[in-house]
């Protein structure tokens, strides 16, 4: 049967059903994701410059077009752009990146100063002295360092240290024994070899040196924690005083290292996420020669800067990191690449121009109204839970009430007026802006938390929950259709923007976020019995998603995706509850034969539509805590009673689980 005729009668309109009759061969009870998105799936091709394509990409593309318009207008209206102004910074940075003739003329010249510094390394101490200087300018080091709220004293910034050093990112690419990864490993060595050749270093020994880099990274990969292990907050919190840090290693001068980063001498402690990795790195400093570490650092320089150099470097970087890794056949137009760099390096000056043009105050006010409705809905739901004690309910309500909200853009913009940006120095602009941003952040160590901090730039198409700040943040970039539409009906916005809001709120109560209290500290607020009940419910969600497969044989990792799956399920339930509260105030509506509930769920399914290249999908399942859109839709809805009612989903069908799970 092509279309559910009973549904057509229930909808009181054949328009939606006739459309689906033409585009789908599945029932909503069998695969709601495809039922809603079949026409889009059939008619959409992944653009050659992307590894995947979906709603997020469509909004990102539109935002890039908006930003390009802004940059174009700055070219024609360039009078009175004062030095250090947002417009001067953005325009000159953009122009420097678009001047490809200048980049070609320079070739490898921007690297020479840094290659000389590497060449002057005579000892392990020299190497360790150079790491922080390079790290501050964006060159990958064996370990990350950054400033973030102390997870057990969230009112101050602490220094965090974590595993890094892998040019392919995830340990699986180095260690898993299968033909696909073996081919990627061979391609990686070939890529390093080619980059050495382009830079004119290690002449005659490029392949030998590339193999040594791969060997060193493989040693690091063996001790790297998996993405699942990395979600263990307690295991990752290892507070070390300066004396304890000194005892951890034989070769690293930690006070000298921190001083080189610009941190004051009176820093009392650091939080080491993976002490075992630091121990292995310390041993590697003895196991490998000074020449090996010079060679490794040369590669890190090329790996981290290759996309900012001449075409031969850019093409080689793209070949490995996009074509080999993800199957992406074509590079993005130059203007898109440069805009991406601007957003990463001077995203607030760029974002200020973006919101002035494309994010009216009415959008912010509407979203804040939605947030208030979502928080009210979750509060009501918490009161009604029969599996949770009054003590835990009170703590949950306290945490919910404390959740902060940042919408669209900062109340106070960061000051970039002292950042030197030149219209003829793209590489230098990247180095200076990276150092500028790094120094601003690292200098926070030991200071009180900045309440105005934003972890994303305004044009970003994403949102997040911060457990240590207990706040939800929504950049202006994501507040566009299909995620948010000021002109759309309420039910549609609840099914999209409302679910996103609910999703981020739910992260405060998922398997990881629920470990943090109302003040953002890693501290339990549950009774032992209630926590056990929560974990039993979470375990069922994990088991459900373990059943899903992609590309016929690769299973979704239910443990890796658990937090996001709880966020989706909670976000759905909270948003639907908020929509019902809204109905009580405004009354229900039937539009084009679709009830509020039906429009809500259709909007939800449209939001997650996406197509992947096989390599991208396989990589996402291995490394990404988000399930693919098909399962974010069907996996969530198959647990939701209100969905069964809205689309008359009978028992015994794929979209109606025999045993459903509800947490929030």
The CATH number covering residue 526 comes to 3.40.390.10
In this structure, are 224 and 372 located in the same domain?
Answer: no
In this structure, are 483 and 599 located in the same domain?
Answer: yes
Q: What is the pLDDT of residue 21?
A: 37
In this structure, are 385 and 479 located in the same domain?
Answer: yes
pLDDT at residue 104 is higher than 70: yes
In this structure, are 461 and 556 located in the same domain?
Answer: yes
pLDDT in tens, 466-501: 999 999 999 999 999 999 999 999 999 999 999 999
Helices (H), 124-178: 124-136, 172-175
What band does 535 get if pLDDT is binned at 50, 70 and 90? very high
For the chain, give the mean pLDDT. Answer: 93
| Domain presence at residue 240 | yes
How much is the average pLDDT of 43-54?
Answer: 95
| Domain presence at residue 15 | no
In this structure, are 277 and 377 located in the same domain?
Answer: no
pLDDT at residue 123 is higher than 80: yes
In this structure, are 229 and 369 located in the same domain?
Answer: no
What pairing do the DSSP bridges indicate for beta strands 153-163 and 269-272?
A: parallel
Let me know: does 198 contact 315? Beta carbons within 8 Å.
Answer: no
Query: Number of H helices and number of E strands within the chain?
Result: 31, 11
Can you give the pTM of this predicted structure? 0.91
| Domain presence at residue 530 | yes
Distance CA(53)–CA(44), nearest Å, equals: 9
Q: Which of 192, 164, 140 is nearest to 184 (CA)?
A: 192
How much is the average pLDDT of 54-76?
Answer: 94
In this structure, are 301 and 370 located in the same domain?
Answer: no
How much is the average pLDDT of 396-409?
Answer: 97
Could you give the percent of the chain with pLDDT greater than 90? 91
| Domain presence at residue 433 | no
In this structure, are 303 and 365 located in the same domain?
Answer: no
Distance CA(327)–CA(616), nearest Å, equals: 8
In this structure, are 266 and 389 located in the same domain?
Answer: no
Q: What share of the chain is helix, strand, coil (3-state, %, to 5)?
A: 60, 10, 35
Let me know: does 361 contact 86? Beta carbons within 8 Å.
Answer: no
For residue 147, report the phi and psi dihedrals to the nearest 5 degrees.
-100, 135
**Strand-pair partners of 407:** 474
Distance CA(456)–CA(351), nearest Å, equals: 10
| Domain presence at residue 353 | no
Domain count, the chain: 2
Contacts of 327 (CB under 8 A, 6+ apart): 51, 613, 614, 615, 616
Give me the domain span that covers residue 404: 361-426+449-646
In this structure, are 419 and 554 located in the same domain?
Answer: yes
How much is the average pLDDT of 164-188?
Answer: 95
| Domain presence at residue 607 | yes
137: domain CATH number is 1.10.1380.10
| Domain presence at residue 180 | yes
pLDDT in tens, 223-260: 999 999 999 999 999 999 999 999 999 999 999 999 99
In this structure, are 501 and 389 located in the same domain?
Answer: yes
| Domain presence at residue 63 | no
Token code pair at residue 59: 């909004």
What band does 79 get if pLDDT is binned at 50, 70 and 90? low
In this structure, are 421 and 298 located in the same domain?
Answer: no
């Amino acid at each position: 049967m092509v279309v559910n005729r009973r549904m057509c009668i229930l909808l009181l309109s054949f328009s939606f059903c006739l459309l689906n009759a033409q585009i789908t061969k599945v029932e909503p009870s069998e695969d709601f994701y495809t039922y809603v998105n079949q026409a889009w799936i059939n008619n959409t091709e992944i653009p050659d410059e992307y590894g995947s394509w979906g709603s997020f990409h469509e909004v990102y593309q539109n935002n890039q077009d908006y930003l390009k318009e802004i940059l174009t207008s700055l070219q024609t209206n360039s009078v009175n752009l004062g030095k250090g102004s947002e417009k001067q910074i953005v325009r000159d940075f953009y122009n420097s990146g678009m001047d490809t003739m200048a980049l070609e003329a320079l070739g490898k010249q921007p690297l020479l100063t840094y290659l000389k510094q590497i060449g002057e390394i005579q000892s392990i101490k020299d190497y360790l002295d150079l790491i922080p200087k390079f790290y501050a300018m964006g060159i990958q080091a064996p370990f990350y360092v950054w400033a973030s709220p102390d997870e057990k004293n969230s009112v101050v910034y602490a220094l965090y240290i974590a595993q890094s050093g892998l040019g392919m990112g995830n340990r699986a690419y180095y260690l898993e024994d299968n033909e696909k990864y073996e081919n990627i490993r061979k391609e990686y060595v070939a890529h390093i070899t080619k980059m050495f050749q382009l830079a004119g270093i290690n002449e005659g020994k490029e392949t030998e040196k590339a193999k040594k880099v791969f060997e060193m990274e493989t040693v690091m990969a063996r001790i790297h924690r998996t993405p699942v292990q990395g979600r263990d907050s307690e295991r990752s919190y290892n507070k070390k005083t300066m004396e304890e840090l000194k005892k951890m290693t034989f070769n690293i001068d930690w006070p000298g290292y921190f001083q080189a980063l610009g941190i004051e001498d009176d820093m009392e402690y650091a939080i080491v996420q993976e002490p075992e990795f630091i121990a292995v790195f310390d041993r590697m400093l003895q196991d490998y020669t000074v020449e090996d570490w010079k060679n490794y650092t040369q590669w890190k320089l090329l790996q981290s800067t290759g996309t900012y150099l001449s075409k031969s470097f850019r093409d080689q970087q793209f070949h490995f990191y996009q074509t080999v890794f993800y199957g992406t056949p074509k590079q993005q137009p130059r203007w898109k690449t440069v805009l991406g760099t601007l957003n990463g390096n001077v995203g607030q000056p760029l974002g200020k121009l973006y919101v002035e043009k494309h994010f009216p105050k009415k959008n912010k006010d509407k979203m804040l109204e939605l947030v208030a409705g979502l928080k009210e809905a979750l509060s009501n739901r918490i009161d009604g839970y029969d599996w949770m004690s009054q003590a835990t309910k009170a703590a949950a309500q306290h945490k919910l009430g404390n959740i902060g909200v940042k919408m669209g853009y900062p109340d106070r913009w960061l000051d970039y007026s002292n950042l030197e940006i030149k219209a003829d120095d793209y590489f230098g602009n990247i180095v200076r802006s990276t150092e500028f941003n790094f120094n601003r952040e690292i200098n926070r160590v030991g200071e009180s938390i900045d309440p105005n901090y934003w972890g994303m730039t305004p044009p970003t198409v994403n949102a997040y929950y911060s457990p240590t700040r207990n706040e939800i943040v929504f950049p202006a970039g994501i507040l566009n259709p299909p995620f948010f539409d000021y002109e759309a009906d309420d039910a549609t916005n609840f099914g999209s923007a409302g679910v996103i809001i609910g999703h981020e709120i739910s992260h405060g109560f998922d398997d990881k976020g629920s470990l943090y209290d109302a003040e953002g500290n890693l501290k339990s607020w549950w009774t032992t019995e209630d926590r056990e009940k929560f974990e039993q419910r979470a375990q069922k969600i994990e088991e459900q998603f373990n059943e899903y497969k992609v590309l016929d044989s690769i299973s979704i990792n239910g443990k890796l995706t658990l937090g996001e799956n709880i966020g989706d399920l909670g976000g759905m339930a909270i948003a639907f509850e908020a929509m019902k509260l809204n109905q009580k105030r405004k009354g229900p509506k039937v539009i084009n034969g679709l009830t509020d509930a039906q429009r809500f769920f259709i909007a939800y399914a449209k939001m997650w539509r996406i197509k992947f290249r096989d390599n991208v999908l396989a990589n996402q399942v291995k490394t990404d805590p988000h399930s693919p859109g098909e399962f974010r839709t069907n996996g969530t809805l198959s647990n939701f009673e209100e969905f069964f009612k809205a689309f008359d989903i009978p028992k015994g069908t794929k979209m109606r689980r025999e045993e459903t799970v509800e947490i929030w």
